[in-house]
A and B are shown apart, each in its own frame.
Chain A
């Protein structure tokens, strides 16, 4: 077995430290928001996880295309790693958003475009894993996975636009204002520090998990091959 690369070990430690600092910044350093109070502090992690999860889903769609062109299983392992980490991050985004929504919108859940698209996207990638589970042949699994991830990656943004046909109450804090939005606020300088640090920290955590998951995929692959060798 190959030992863990030093760079990955360093990244593991770095992401733990960054996450700790980011937690401090979000919970202690950043000022309390005037209207919503302390609950607004989930915002930093809400956006941090959302941004990295979306990054992962977009990466996965790109890996699909590369896999379908090159047919190299390496790209399939990258894709699974990206989707698996993103699926967890996106679930955290939804749960945190729900916690924030309860006091801000007076409800845990509302059928707003972003929320609905988030739920549907989460389901698309759960279906992705169910599809993969039903296939034994690694090549076919990779091909079907790539096709479905591509279709899902294209469908999710269209879902968003389709649901936009209804009105939205989700606030757009960064860039753009929606007069009908509820729970929006403008950030002070200290909030901005906490916000951008959270974005940075979660990006590093994502890269770290992504890397670890790719390594796990490679090792799984080796175990499969060794098993085949022993059985033959």
Chain B
């Protein structure tokens, strides 16, 4: 009898023990990373698309050495922004299509853990793509893009972009016009990330003094903080059934 009671107690304890927030976030990231590692669907599509965009820019802007100095930051950020929507759309569409999102919602974890999990894995994929595009661009156009300042701006910009993008992609995959909607929703509201990111990147590439770039970086950080906080607060109403 005593033993049985003990058994029930431990099972209750087992069920009652909610996974901690961080563990839930990590579990979602790990799931995405594993799925991506096996299929390489997302990263490969984003990567090939990025390279194509850079090639198109080469012809559209005639990237001769003089031109390159002024447009490199713009070309890079346009490439990242376009490739980013591709990844975000796909990453949320996978969840929606096979009912995985419903499964995630059934899990006894805070809903915002799903948001942070998806956002972190999306960010990871985006950074992987950027990590390959940057050296390729450096080699193709013979410019050194590996400057700590520039890398920091790219990281900050990608965080803001993915932070809002994950929220909007979660909405857009639940609509009828999902394939075309994300970029239309995302680009106008993500402009305050792209603008300071381009200005700061340009500044670092042109060797401008740090004090002149600081305002752009401040804007980037402010945007990241504000929008991730808002996304965290409203994510519940985006996945509610």
Q: Is A152 a contact of B189 with CB atoms below 8 Å?
A: yes
Evaluate contact between A131 and B216: CB separation under 8 angstroms.
no
Residues of B within 8 A of A162 (CB): 191-192, 195-196, 219
Q: Is A165 in the interface zone, CB < 8 Å from B?
A: yes
Closest chain A CB from B165 CB (angstroms): 11
Interface size on B (CB < 8 Å)?
Answer: 33
Q: Known interface pairs A134-B181, A151-B167, A151-B230. Does A146 touch B237 (Cβ–Cβ under 8 Å)? A: yes
Nearest-CB distance from B86 to chain A (Å)?
Answer: 18
The interface bits of chain A over 126-166 (1 if a CB of B lies within 8 angstroms of the residue's CB, else 0) are 01001101111000100110111011101100110111010
User: What bracket does the count of chain A residues touching chain B fall in?
Assistant: 20 to 34
Residues of A within 8 A of B174 (CB): 135, 140, 144
A120: interface (CB < 8 Å): yes
CB distance from B184 to the nearest CB of A (A): 5
Q: Are the C-beta atoms of B238 and A144 separated by less than 8 Å? A: yes
B210: Cβ under 8 A from any A Cβ: no
Partner of B219, one of A150, A151, A158: A158
A124 x B189 contact (CB < 8 A):
yes
Would you call B176 and A163 a contact (CB within 8 A)? no
Nearest-neighbour CB distance to chain B for A163, whole angstroms, equals 6
Q: Which residues of B contact A (CB under 8 A)?
A: 164, 167-168, 171-172, 174-178, 181, 184-185, 188-192, 195-196, 199, 215-216, 219, 222-223, 226-227, 230, 234, 237-238, 240
> Which residues of A pack against B, CB within 8 Å?
68, 120, 123-124, 127, 130-131, 133-136, 140, 143-144, 146-148, 150-152, 154-155, 158-159, 161-163, 165
Assuming A68-B234, A143-B238, A148-B168, what are 13 further A-B pairs, CB within 8 angstroms? A127-B184, A130-B177, A143-B240, A144-B171, A144-B238, A147-B237, A148-B171, A150-B230, A154-B230, A159-B191, A161-B192, A162-B192, A165-B195
